[in-house]
Chains A and B, each alone.
Chain A
Amino acid sequence: DTEVTQTPKHLVMGMTNKKSLKCEQHMGHRAMYWYKQKAKKPPELMFVYSYEKLSINESVPSRFSPECPNSSLLNLHLHALQPEDSALYLCASSRVGQYNEQFFGPGTRLTVL
């Protein structure tokens, strides 16, 4: 199974809401990533988990809170977001190390009103 799944596909939330994005992979990958992608831009790295531990936080605001409950799951908890946080949120996974390709999920299209 070479698939990364993400739920939900679309999410609309108000600035006072709390929501969570979910990601799952069953490829045995021990590196998992959250990216944010704005229209006509490349993916922008937010967080990296390596062996279920947060290894990189790219200075992301605290209104985004990642969680890695186990080696197959990755969550992104959202709270008090701003309209400029509207974007496509992509989850990816890979083997650990710099020579490994990343497998992306289909993404969650987030709109913050």
Chain B
Amino acid sequence: GQQVMQIPQYQHVQEGEDFTTYCNSSTTLSNIQWYKQRPGGHPVFLIQLVKSGEVKKQKRLTFQFGEAKKNSSLHITATQTTDVGTYFCAGPRDSNYQLIWGAGTKLIIKP
């Protein structure tokens, strides 16, 4: 069945280091969405990518959508404590357009 795979499961970084999470779909996606969930919180929409090869930036966050529209990445430059949380990618299912979620990558800042 259609899958969205996301790695790594966890990433421990020192504050100020960079963070990257990768998403890979088993099928070509029409779009991909990214969400952030803070500890104890709910998912919050960050961005949607639609075009092949698209790159979007939000301050220290850079989002990319692959040329084949099957993979995506989120890169955070110089992490801060406010970046802590789990980052999910999600793409629409072919059959009914409902979101298929990646497993999430948990960003942990080392003390």
Interface residues of A (CB under 8 A from B): 40-43, 45, 48, 56, 90, 97-99, 101-107
Contacts and interface: CB of A to CB of B under 8 A. Distances in A.
Interface residues of B, number: 22
B88 interface: yes
Interface in B53-110: 88, 90, 92, 96-99, 101-104, 106
Contact of B33 (A40, A90, A101, A103): A101
Interface string B34-51: 000000011111001010
A106 B42 CA distance: 5
Contact of A41 (B41, B97, B99, B103): B103
Contacts of B43: 43, 90, 102, 104
Contact of A105 (B42, B50, B88, B97): B42
B42 A104 contact: yes
A98 B30 contact: yes
A89 to B, nearest CB: 11
A104 B44 contact: yes
